[in-house]
Structure 1
């Protein structure tokens, strides 16, 4: 149908010139994702970008936490776990919300205290589902999308401490390069090793007045085929419960919720399984 000549034509701004450096940087990430660790010379050959430019792009990507140079004995570059932050919002949230929401709903009826379900997003533990808005014992209503530090929150400690050594090493590299003061402790390997040992021996992660004054929490990891993919916590006032008392009273209910979610993941559709496996660390 012809356009009404009395109506003004739709305004379309002139296209901007593409940012070539951005395209080239993304291209290097795609090559490393497809081929695995590569030298600068190999990256230059596969990407068609001269070596000087490849060096500059890699230095920028390393500073931003997306790539890592090899050890002193290796000249290869590889992706870090930080690249997962580029895709987390695309579909990882879907399975957590759909499968996790009803599980947290049941858990709330048993423990009353608010609970959260979070997954690592390449920078920290991003809350995907919560019962804060429904719990009469919560001072917070909007928690979805809040990101907690890995090494000082119970959600992060549960995820980190129960992950395999390779995953922990990848996460540590990201945290050690972070400018966030909460991540500085990642540079203290003795502290990290003790945290993992004590948390596993205790059987659950805990946090006391570390993410917020007067607030404590305990948490357990959620596994999928042997891989930690999320964690569930229970949040409470430090003045009302100690982590040990909270665990004595409520850890069986939390463990039951974790087991139910793990079962749901295993029996979920192929689409959800593919999403999870694509996020394997």
Structure 2
């Protein structure tokens, strides 16, 4: 077996569990569609999850729901809320200055997960986004930025997993990988997504992401999201990049200082 290749059965089981946990209750057919597996495979996966006590069938209904046992999967994980606590006043202030919503996202596996946003603080948005919303790393400004700052070996491993998992179209993956100019993103200190196709309003917004650091290590992406019809990314860079970088640098400095004080 090739080193670093994910086990498909485990990936599928996790996909099924995530779908059930996210929706709260699903039929077997809905689980199969959500996990993108054949119906017989979904049956075997759910039977295994039921056996392990993570999923149960609802009484008198052919629907499946998560049990309290899923909470055990979070034991030992301590989320660092310091990032959101420190960044929140700064991104709210930035939104007041420029009008557009700002988000903070960090990479979780092959997705970028929203940690906080100011979509609720401005009328210049099509939708409101809340913590937990995910975006693909290869088709979002925050994801491209995160991939650029990910250590080379880890990035290559992630790309290899995406290739062998067959969950991403090979041609798309090839094109996205070719378009991921790591050195340019690092040298410029930002990443751009001309059209956001994997959000709640596909194709209607564009975005620019800048890095937040903890010391010398990339911690999260701070992103401004604007209407694609309102301005081109080049114009948005001219107007907002300095303010974006300045805000991110302030958050980085406060985050690093807070971490240092916590270690004393």
CA contact (8 A) 2:95 2:118 kept: yes
Find the counterpart in structure 1 of residue 131 from structure 2: 144
Distance 1:123 1:109 in 2: 32
Displacement of 1:144 in angstroms is: 2.0
Find the counterpart in structure 2 of residue 8 from structure 1: none
Distance 2:153 2:111 in 1: 17
Give the alignment partner of residue 215 of structure 1, picking from 205, 220, 225.
Answer: 205
Find the counterpart in structure 2 of residue 224 from structure 1: 214
Give me the TM-score of the superposition, normalised by structure 2: 0.64
Find the counterpart in structure 1 of residue 109 from structure 2: 122
CA contact (8 A) 1:123 1:174 kept: no
Displacement of 1:187 in angstroms is: 4.7
Find the counterpart in structure 1 of residue 230 from structure 2: 240
CA contact (8 A) 2:191 2:210 kept: yes
Find the counterpart in structure 1 of residue 146 from structure 2: 159
User: What is the aligned-residue RMSD (CA, Å)?
Assistant: 3.4
Distance 1:145 1:92, change over 3 A: same
**Structure 1: gaps of 5 or more residues:** 1-38, 40-56, 66-85, 275-281
Give me the TM-score of the superposition, normalised by structure 1: 0.60
Find the counterpart in structure 2 of residue 169 from structure 1: 156
How many residues align? The count is 198
Distance 1:271 1:202, change over 3 A: closer
Displacement of 1:102 in angstroms is: 1.6
Displacement of 1:242 in angstroms is: 1.1
Deviations 1:245-276 (A, max 9, x none): 111111111111111111111111469779xx
Find the counterpart in structure 2 of residue 7 from structure 1: none
**Structure 2: gaps of 5 or more residues:** 15-72
Displacement of 1:126 in angstroms is: 0.1
Distance 2:98 2:156 in 1: 34
| Secondary structure, aligned partner of 2:78 | helix
Find the counterpart in structure 1 of residue 257 from structure 2: 267
In our comparison, the structure showing a higher alpha carbon Rg is 1
Query: Given the alignment of the two structures, is residue 196 of structure 1 paired with residue 186 of structure 2, yes or no?
Result: no
Distance 2:171 2:74 in 1: 25
Distance 1:244 1:59, change over 3 A: closer
Distance 1:238 1:191 in 2: 24
Displacement of 1:157 in angstroms is: 0.7
| Secondary structure, aligned partner of 1:133 | helix
CA contact (8 A) 1:63 1:177 kept: no
| Secondary structure, aligned partner of 2:224 | strand
Distance 1:213 1:87, change over 3 A: same
Distance 1:179 1:271, change over 3 A: farther
